[in-house]
Chains A and B, each alone.
Chain A
């Protein structure tokens, strides 16, 4: 197997909570608490979870906007976990971030030309035909009028602003792009355009994506693999197909049931799972399985022993004591396909003879 482009190992970020004049630490928000995944060159990995589960923090850690509390970040074989700002500077060309809010991510006092040209200025890069020409080419690439070079962000719609933001991340021809909820602030009608743009750019420029989203519908279209996060941890990580067709973690099932199904016949088959209660505070997360306060399958062991993230099928990792759709013990087949619905083990036919 080739080395991954990015490898995140047991990554942690605890934001200290301090009190008083002396800044005594009284607690910590465990925003990211032991996240591990690899990103292979050319793939798109979706990072999904409810708001507040630590997705943005993960992105800000990988781009080294903030300092990790623990764990390791390896990019192209370089350990950048605690790389100084000076050492990071040249690497920053390769790892870029698309921000969530197209209103806050563009400086209202700068023209489009200045915004998209900033990467060249900051990195001290001279282009052959001059920065202006380079910027205009990128604007064209993302579907904007290159003549809008001298305009200000407030003259553009949300979708166009997000394109300006995308243009800025593309300026330095990065290898890896972290897209933090790139369409969640946009009208539903233009979300598809921006998602399609990201896809086209990936093909054209050979990009690798980590796409963050708060529900499973947006990333379904573009992800090769999907990681589901809950309260600072990854609870399930699988190929797109297995994750959407045979989700194993109860939380993933709950998230999937919230995704609208266009086909009414199939919609009937599936019950909507409503999660009870709110997401617990990351300040004081539940012990062992963090989902046990809301899980309908929870048993005593769930609040006592933390379920490790295990590969239960080929390319399908899940952290749960009682996974759904799990292959029968020993049935972790060589093919990895043909997963048996095995709630009660192999005797699946038993209880269904009701008719």
Chain B
């Protein structure tokens, strides 16, 4: 007889967590990988700080009308009385006061604080929606390419290459020039926001798509996929029930890291004048205005800081999220 097989059998090897005999818990709740990741994330102080700033920024964007209402300065209202009519600069240099926390703009005296607060709305709205669009397209096509393979994979992968090689900035500028003020049943800011979301989101999906495709390729080879298929599961069951739940972590991580990229992208487009049109406040647009008044650097400081802090906060949070969800990724 072979040695290992003669060991007397015991019903089970030790239970993972000792359960006190007699105490009959109706159901012992296990800790999911998500809960474990949350515990890890909580210990990462820098990521938590980034996360708090992110939440703060979102609150500012959502409650912009309330916050601005508190101070009573409409973001597009001129305050010519605060401007020195000979130099066009604010009378005391910046206009910073308890009334105007961040001062006022040169020439027309608009309240910079209100404009920054409203700018957060446009900035985050476009960045979030564009990210969402990229994630949806990237995930769908990435999973499809990897799961079905063959010709489907070839076509999707080549399409990704084409998109990644596309001069998106040039395209965006051309598009902004062609599209009239009234198109697709939309007008004004709504039309511009929709355009920006489309341009940024539609051309960024291959980054997510490639990551998802790679992850799916390896998930597809796992035996739990074979197990489901040997039970008679159809392709849609395998994709939605077996594979997608394992992609939540990479999707969350790369979405969080894509948002700041899109914030910068939106700011760049607005800076170049192909974003949301004035007088609607955007951070990129304010920077662009401020460049003309480089002798008054306070004007550039606030939109610059807003972009910087937003990008930094999302990146710190995203990095922490990656470490917490996938400790092996580094």
Are B15 and A145 within 8 A (Cβ)? Answer: yes
* A150 at interface, CB cutoff 8 A: yes
Partner-binding segment picked from B83-91, B128-136, B225-233, B253-261: B225-233
The reply on B97 being an interface residue by CB < 8 A is no
The verdict on B329 contacting chain A, using a C-beta distance below 8 Å, is no
Looking at the assembled complex, report how far the CB atom of A240 sits from the nearest CB atom of chain B, in whole angstroms: 12
Q: Which of B3-11, B100-108, B172-180 contacts A (4 or more CB under 8 A)?
A: B3-11
Residue A331, interface by CB 8 Å: no
C-alpha spacing A148/B14, complex, angstroms: 13
Q: Mark B4-34, 1 if CB is under 8 A from A, else 0.
A: 1111011111111101000011111111110
Question: Does B159 touch A at the CB level, under 8 Å?
Answer: no
Are A192 and B7 in contact (CB-based, < 8 A)?
yes
In the complex, chain B residues whose CB is within 8 Å of the CB of A157: 13-14, 16
Query: In the complex, are the beta carbons of B245 and A195 less than 8 A apart?
Result: no
A92 contact set on B, CB distance < 8 A: 230-232
B232 touches A109 (CB 8 A): no
Chain B residues with Cβ below 8 Å from A123 are 231-232
**In the complex, which residues of chain A have a beta carbon less than 8 angstroms from the beta carbon of B233?**
118, 122
Interface mask (A92-117 → B, CB under 8 Å = 1, otherwise 0): 11011101110011111111100000
CB <8 Å contact, B12 and A152 = no
Q: Establish whether residues A122 and B237, one from each chain, have CB atoms under 8 Å apart when the complex forms.
A: yes
Determine the distance from Cα of A154 to Cα of B33 in the docked complex, in whole angstroms.
Answer: 8
Instruction: Establish whether residues B17 and A155, one from each chain, have CB atoms under 8 Å apart when the complex forms.
Output: yes
A144 sits at the interface (CB 8 A): yes
Q: Mark A75-106, 1 if CB is under 8 A from B, else 0.
A: 00000000001001110110111011100111
In contact, B231 and A104 (Cβ under 8 angstroms): no
Select A163's contact among B12, B14, B230, beta carbons within 8 Å: B12
Nearest CB in chain B to that of A156: its residue: B16
Which one, B1, B14, B24, contacts A262 given CB within 8 A? B1
4 closest Cβ pairs, A-B complex: A151-B30, A105-B223, A109-B245, A89-B232
A residues at B contact (CB < 8 Å): 21, 23, 60, 63, 65, 85, 88-90, 92-93, 95-97, 99-101, 104-112, 118-119, 122-123, 143-145, 147-152, 154-157, 159-160, 163, 165, 168, 172, 188-193, 195-197, 217-218, 220-221, 259-260, 262
A–B Cβ pairs within 8 angstroms, 21 of them: A21-B154, A65-B230, A92-B230, A105-B222, A107-B222, A122-B231, A147-B19, A147-B27, A152-B31, A152-B33, A154-B33, A155-B17, A156-B16, A168-B227, A189-B4, A189-B7, A192-B5, A193-B13, A197-B9, A259-B2, A262-B1
